[in-house]
């Protein structure tokens, strides 16, 4: 007793030919899904939910963009930020100002961590261009502060910025660490995308 299992090589050849034509599109879709998955995890892991849900939110979080492209026939995805601060926060480093850097204090921030609109310094301008009366003074700890003068009769001062010549940032963004942690998920997405395409061709009789 025996049996013979015969392959229809014509159908197999046709399926692989059709699949090869679909590969660029299939890989593009897979990479689009994978990059979207990575960005979502990165933002969720590294930024507070209140920050992301805020109307304006974190300008750094919103600066991360993704795109899928092809070079020499090889598809790939890119996730990047246009903010110079992203590199410093990822790798660590020193930021120096021409004069003083204005570091927002908690009193000048919203609940989401962004600088309040009235204290936001426009690009190309300095804190001296902010509306209102401000004074520069030293705190009890010797830090140089820029404070807003509030009230007319009983004047009070509201510390807004601490002034620094230089600021040292420790690596804390975790962009590449999140990518490495998420890499197995990216591979899984690509495998499932290809498997789905092969299954669809098989069901269509190739």
Tokens of 41: 């995890």
Q: With 60 as the cut, is the pLDDT of residue 5 above it?
A: no
Across the range 184-191, mean pLDDT stands at 91
pTM of the model: 0.67
CA gap 141, 160 in Å, rounded = 16
pLDDT digits (tens, 9 = 90+) for 95-132: 887 778 888 888 788 776 778 777 777 777 777 777 77
Locate the domains of the chain by residue range. Answer: 9-90+171-204, 93-168
Measuring CA to CA, how many Å separate 144 from each of 101, 150, 191, 203?
11, 19, 56, 72
Q: Which range has the top average pLDDT, 6-10, 96-100, 159-163?
A: 159-163
Write down the pLDDT at residue 32.
93
pLDDT digits (tens, 9 = 90+) for 11-41: 545 555 555 666 778 888 889 999 999 999 9
Q: With 90 as the cut, is the pLDDT of residue 178 above it?
A: yes
The average confidence (pLDDT) of the chain is: 78
Write down the pLDDT at residue 185.
94
CA gap 59, 132 in Å, rounded = 25
- Extended beta strands in the chain, E state: 64-71, 74-81, 93-104, 134-138, 144-150, 156-169
């Amino acid at each position: 007793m025996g049996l013979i299992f015969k392959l229809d090589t014509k159908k197999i050849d046709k399926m692989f030919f059709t699949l090869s034509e679909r590969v660029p599109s299939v890989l593009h879709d897979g990479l689009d899904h994978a990059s979207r998955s990575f960005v979502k995890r990165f933002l969720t892991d590294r930024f507070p939910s209140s920050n992301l849900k805020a109307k304006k939110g974190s300008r750094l979080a919103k600066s991360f963009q993704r795109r899928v492209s092809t070079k020499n026939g090889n598809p790939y995805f890119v996730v990047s930020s246009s903010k110079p601060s992203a590199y410093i926060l990822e790798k660590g480093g020193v930021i120096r100002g021409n004069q003083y850097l204005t570091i927002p204090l908690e009193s000048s921030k919203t609940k989401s961590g962004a600088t309040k609109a009235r204290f936001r310094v426009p690009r190309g301008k300095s804190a001296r261009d902010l509306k209102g009366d401000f004074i520069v003074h030293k705190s009890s700890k010797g830090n140089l502060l820029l404070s807003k003068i509030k009230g007319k009769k009983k004047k009070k001062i509201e510390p807004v910025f601490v002034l620094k010549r230089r600021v040292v940032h420790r690596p804390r963004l975790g962009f590449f660490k999140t990518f490495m942690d998420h890499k197995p998920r990216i591979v899984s997405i690509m495998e499932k995308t290809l498997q789905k395409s092969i299954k669809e061709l098989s069901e269509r009789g190739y």
